[in-house]
Amino acid sequence: SLFLAGFVEEPERKYCFECDSEEQCQEWVEALKRASYEFMRRSLIFYRNEIQKMTGKDPLEQYGISEEARFQLGAHKQ
């Protein structure tokens, strides 16, 4: 099984992956999605901290995201 991965910002860059099975392809696709989410999450935490250092205010406070939730931005509270 084959699948292609690309970048929205650079559509000319494409990567072709070959897997032994459809299940393995799905595992790769999910791993790539998680890696992308983790990168964005870490970037958000970094920039949130930088803005807070510069302004003295939490930029996400107005959206109801508390300091305690800063490392669990993707989690849903029940």
- pLDDT tens per residue, range 2-60: 788 777 777 788 888 888 998 998 898 888 888 888 788 888 889 999 999 999 998 88
Of residues 18 and 74, the one with the higher pLDDT is 18
Indicate the SS3 state at residue 3.
Answer: strand
Task: Count how many domains the chain has.
Answer: 1
pLDDT band for position 75 (cuts 50, 70, 90): very low
Let me know: does 40 contact 15? Beta carbons within 8 Å. Answer: no
Answer whether residue 76 is part of any domain: no
Answer whether residue 74 is part of any domain: no
Of residues 33 and 76, the one with the higher pLDDT is 33
Nearest to 48 by CA among 37, 61, 36: 61
| pTM for the predicted model, two decimal places | 0.47
Answer whether residue 40 is part of any domain: yes
- Give φ, ψ of 5 to 5 degrees: -125, 140
Domain that holds residue 34: 2-69
